[in-house]
Structure 1
């Protein structure tokens, strides 16, 4: 999500950190950049955790990794065994969206983050793999965040791979380095197929929040016709937060933003599971994203007016 680390780690005095968690789940299909970082930067990862721990003074430290990455689990368990910190490397069930911090917290602690609250309200601080490595590189090598590992993949990419790329590099140059894209390339995504953003051009830079470039072929992309909701309930079963996407989608269509806020649309972290299972191809998550933006804008205006 590229949330500013200086804001997340600057904890209020009345909300101490009890649990420090490293999110190595990487549940988004196609993306493997965090996986490679855990394998190739294990030492810096543990060092970054130690630096962060000295700042937040957590009582327990967890490294969460999905079970489909046994090599990463083994690598970090070996590294953690040599660390003086009380680090537990936890293998979690491989399922989407396990990498969402609220899902990960529930899987590890058995506690749910209440609606409208943040993980720190439970004493939990969640850090990303790349962020923790960057912390180590900054403190030990005086190197600011000038590069990051990204995944360049998809059946329309000549040579899919993970690359260490300078921040600001042209995505077109990155893709060209990977053999370019095939003639049947039909869609470019920044990120994965579930939470990624469709991009019309590669003439844009790599930024701190760029996790991957995914290029799909015509056979993998379908422009579906949207139909009316048939009340099948699949979206309710798919939503990991037990929201009511069908109802929220109807309210979004009517522009009833206040009603959507009352139904906790701001809790949605846009995993797109509802859109994925919808047989009517209703763009649910897209409408929720718009609604959240409007609600937050209204809140900001009201705060400024007061």
Structure 2
């Protein structure tokens, strides 16, 4: 029996999970149109590789990753690209993102698939395979999975996260119940890649059927994996807190799980890894929970790019539904519209109404009750962070470990003053990131200016050096042209005499060159041209004679 550990805080909100687990996962029908965002992961948006009017096959690469923190995007089915433009997506800012609109043809015609034997691949080759197949974390963060296989320190423990602690969400629960063997197979692939010593599968005790299914799959595989049932407590599904519960280790502030020899993957991600390696299928579909104010809550395996409105329609939203949440009620976000597309990080959509989620009353002043600090799983002081964020004292907020906040919403859930605390923390984080980005941009601009000035100065020095070298070479050539006897006769000649000798030598060379130069283009002259040339030569000779006579007259009289 493995010893379990506790973490500070936590709470027990109503689960509301039984509604969507009464029926098995069903495959959603292929819609007539899919809207596929090019940013479905942490990092840079993918670069589109297709054009409007182009026909694509199911699984075909349509978006190439840009940079390390990016992932590939594939066509979820066969069809024709009808648009590449900005469209509304599920994002807190409600700003549009670049999307590829695919008009489906219903043929479900697959492109070429590339299954691999993971045992024959190196770690780098497996990373490249997962990157090429667009595998990202399906627990909500959408971090590229290939990046999580890059580790400088040895990984001792691989943890599969099946806790799924947030209310309403049951996609991981149903996936473990129905596809446990595939998850175990994916876990073996990840264990091989990380060379981990042990594999722990953490599941909350409110998912007894899932835990039993995973235990049976582990027994059938003969692998030494351990299924660990943990107490139900929100937010035990957070990677850092699940690591704490299962191992007793605590991830230090600002560090990653691999820094303490642990790596954590969501069970949905693990299933996608299996499909990518054994079946050669990229991440083009996922299981998503549709629940809340609907007549038939259940889980659907839906293609990426399916509009949420179509999924909710399958479960028959009730008439008083007035908004939709992506994710759970604690950490989810309100969708800007019902027609935004499903993305890789979409684990749940909740149809909401005022009856189901009553509007919160206006926020009141903080009364320093400390309830938020009591439930904070990161052991922070939420009320102090709130004051720092409210007063724009972001430096102080960072000193009080603002970025250790996992935005679980536990503090806001228990706040008697109904203060939207998480909103303030998100605001403060965004401002800090924006200012850091501005500082980096300013530092880069300053470095570019300094390098520019250094380059200009270096070019000036190089130019001056070239001119000096040219002058030295010219002086050397001129010195070499001075007749050796003259230099030998007067070795102690002054600089002026040497210069005069150089001038005289240059004049003599010019005269010699003129004497041997023959006039050109005079072979076939007409009599008129010859007469004109003769007249010019006569005038020139007369001018020379006049100049000579004038010089003779200027000479001083000779003494007798």
Q: TM-score, normalised by structure 1?
A: 0.95
CA drift at 1:84:
4.1
Of 112-121 and 54-63, more deviation after overlay is shown by 112-121
Candidates 428, 453, 456, aligned match of 1:291: 428
Please say if 1:129 is aligned against 2:129. Answer: no
> What are the equivalent positions in structure 2 for 1:1-306 lying under 5 Å apart?
1-11=141-151, 13=152, 15-154=153-292, 156-179=293-316, 181-219=317-355, 220-304=357-441, 305=443
Of 81-90 and 274-283, more deviation after overlay is shown by 81-90
Q: In the aligned structure 1, how far is the partner of 2:322 from the partner of 2:365?
A: 27
Q: In the aligned structure 1, how far is the partner of 2:145 from the partner of 2:439?
A: 27
Q: In the aligned structure 1, how far is the partner of 2:437 from the partner of 2:196?
A: 33
Contact 2:402 2:429 in 1 (8 A): yes
CA drift at 1:223:
3.1
CA drift at 1:300:
3.6
Q: Secondary structure at the match of 2:221?
A: coil
Contact 1:64 1:91 in 2 (8 A): yes
CA drift at 1:287:
1.0
Q: Secondary structure at the match of 1:108?
A: helix
Deviations 1:94-113 (A, max 9, x none): 01001001110111111211
Q: In the aligned structure 2, how far is the partner of 1:86 from the partner of 1:292?
A: 42
Q: In the aligned structure 2, how far is the partner of 1:89 from the partner of 1:301?
A: 47
CA drift at 1:6:
1.8
Query: Would you identify which runs of 4 or more consecutive aligned residues in structure 1 move more than 4 Å?
Result: none
Contact 2:165 2:233 in 1 (8 A): yes
Q: Secondary structure at the match of 1:185?
A: coil
Q: In the aligned structure 1, how far is the partner of 2:217 from the partner of 2:338?
A: 38
Number of residue pairs matched?
302
CA RMSD of aligned residues (A): 1.2
CA drift at 1:297:
3.0
Q: Secondary structure at the match of 1:138?
A: helix
CA drift at 1:303:
4.0
CA drift at 1:54:
1.2
Q: TM-score, normalised by structure 2?
A: 0.53
